[in-house]
Amino acid sequence: MATTQSTDAEASKSSGKSSRRMLAVMDMSNLLRHVFEYEREIVRTATTLIYRVGEPELKYLLCQHVWESAQHARFLRERGREMAGFGSGEKVRSDIRKIFEEAVKPEDGMVALAGFYRVLKPALLEAYRYYLKETDHLADWPSKQLLQAFIEDEERHAAEMTAYLEGVEASDWADHLEAALSSIGGLLGIREKEDLPAGFVWEHEKEGFSHPAVCNRGKYPVCSGVFGHDPDVDPIMRPWLEEKANTDPAILRLMVYVWLMMELDAVDYLATIFYDTPEAPLDMHYDMARHLWDESRHSQFGFRQLPRLGVDIMTVEHSLDLYCILVQMPAPERYAMMTMEFEAGSFPTKAYLIDRLHELNDFEMDTLLAFDRNDEQNHVRYGHQWLKPLMGLFGVETEVGEFVKATKEKFEEVAKQFGGKIPHTLSPEERLTANKIKKIAGVN
């Protein structure tokens, strides 16, 4: 017994010496751990801004920022695992998570945006700068190089968001979030914790966040869907996209750009999955963030190219049906429909269209469509990789094939109740239709 006690004491003494020897590393890895968890929560919750703000350009920008934050988080994880004390897990501590649960609460998406970009993101930038100031430039060179790049990203994010936040009155909400952050000692937890102001209420504890039933498109005209069979009503004619129709490629080009622009609906409904999966592996959110950014780029293809081809962008109604339907379904079903049905099912039609559009010798369009196809192939791979783990997060034990089949059937039923509810903003005389596309394309 005496021998065992002596051995335990010696081990404890040795461990204490080891900790003292590694104290500088332990201190800095603890700071890295905080910013890692903070970046993870930005990826999970800043995505809730995307479908609540209306301006497409702002949605695109948020998708880019989320993707860059996902990259920051993964690089921080890899660097952290090289340092003693960072830990091998990815769990976010509760005091950090509750700040972000609070941040998503404003009903006004622009007020929520202001909270992120006037309080939470500046706190992250301050934390990165603090780490660089405190670390030895030679001893911790790997972290220093990473964080210098992240600082440049965060500074750019702030500059890019300035124009969108002009005139947004959110000072009360910013003060509220500042108080919440100060109550946990700031992002890094190294400041003295401050008492919450008298009357402070944690809004998320009163009622949790829920996705809006309809996504926001601001000043832009909307409708339920853009695919149809009446050229005097809808802009994209399904029969005209088929090989047997032999539609003039100049018409197809415009319809494909409308189709690409409508991938903004994929941006909105994919963005809902992040918040619903707080315990997802970082690598799942990382791939979904890349997927989100890809879809935003595809939508930009159409949003930017249509005006160059003579289309008034304010005559192009945005289709909202898929968001309205899918937001009524659990996250695994949303993801299954997106990757295993919509994207996987689009390849044959898109392959034909790529071949036909090549006849136009439009190098820019050929390039955009080639990258769109490449990205979509990756997205289907993501579906095959992550759908099963995503199902597991929701306790779904069905085989993937059976789950996808059942989800398709459920989608049809949910669509009967929630689809087709968004009326046309514009009359047929005002909005872009297939017959108007023919005229713009110069085809009789």
CATH number of the domain encompassing residue 170: 1.20.1260.10
244 part of a folded domain: yes
What was the pLDDT predicted at 22? 60
Could you give the CA distance from residue 116 to residue 119 in angstroms, rounded to a whole number?
A: 6
Query: Which neighbouring-strand residues pair with 222?
Result: 318
Same domain, 295 and 353: yes
- Which residues are registered as beta bridge partners of 75? none
Q: Judge whether 118 lies within some domain.
A: yes
Residue 2: inside a domain: no
- Per-residue burial over 191-212, b if 16 or more Cβ lie within 10 Å, else e, is eeeeeeeeeeeebbeeeebebb
The domain boundary, picked from 206, 231, 266, lies at: 206
148 with 263, same domain: the answer is no
Identify whether residues 197 and 236 lie together within a single domain. Answer: no
Q: Is the same domain home to 323 and 418?
A: yes
What are the distances in angstroms from CA 65 to CA 58, 59, 155, 293, 322? 10, 10, 11, 9, 24
Does the residue 140 lie in any domain?
Answer: yes
Would 435 be classed as within a structural domain?
yes
Does 399 fall in a domain? yes
Q: Is 7 inside any structural domain?
A: no
Q: What is the pLDDT of residue 117?
A: 98
332 near 391, Cβ under 8 Å?
yes
Report the alpha-carbon distance of residue 151 to residue 35 in Å, rounded. Answer: 12
Nearest partner of 303 among 271, 251, 268, 262, judged by Cα:
262
pLDDT of residue 21: 56
CA distance 27 to 30: 5
Burial of 369 (0-12, 13-18, 19+ CB in 10 A): buried
- Judge if 270 and 199 occupy the same domain: no
Instruction: Indicate whether 258 belongs to any domain.
Output: yes
Residues 298 and 193 in one domain: no
DSSP 381-410: HHHHHHHHHHHHHTT--S-HHHHHHHHHHH
Q: For residues 199 and 209, give the distance between their C-alpha atoms in angstroms, rounded to a whole number.
A: 21
Asked if 177 and 122 sit in the same domain, the reply is yes
Strand partners, 237: 228
Q: Indicate if 175 and 236 belong to the same structural domain.
A: no
Number of domains within the chain: 2
Task: Please report the pLDDT score of residue 10 as a whole number.
Answer: 41
Work out the number of other CB atoms within 10 angstroms of the CB of residue 397: 7
Are 255 and 126 found together in one domain?
no
The last residue of one of the domains, among 165, 180, 206, is 206
Rounded to whole angstroms, how far apart are CA atoms 147 and 75?
A: 10
Residues of the domain holding 264: 222-441
Domain end position, chosen among 175, 206, 237: 206
Ranges of the chain with pLDDT below 50: 1-15
Coil, strand or helix: which one is 318? Answer: strand
Residues 245, 167 share a domain: no
361 and 275 within one domain: yes
Instruction: In whole angstroms, give the CA distance from residue 142 to residue 126.
Output: 19
pLDDT at 247: 95
Please tell me whether residues 336 and 394 are part of one structural domain.
Answer: yes
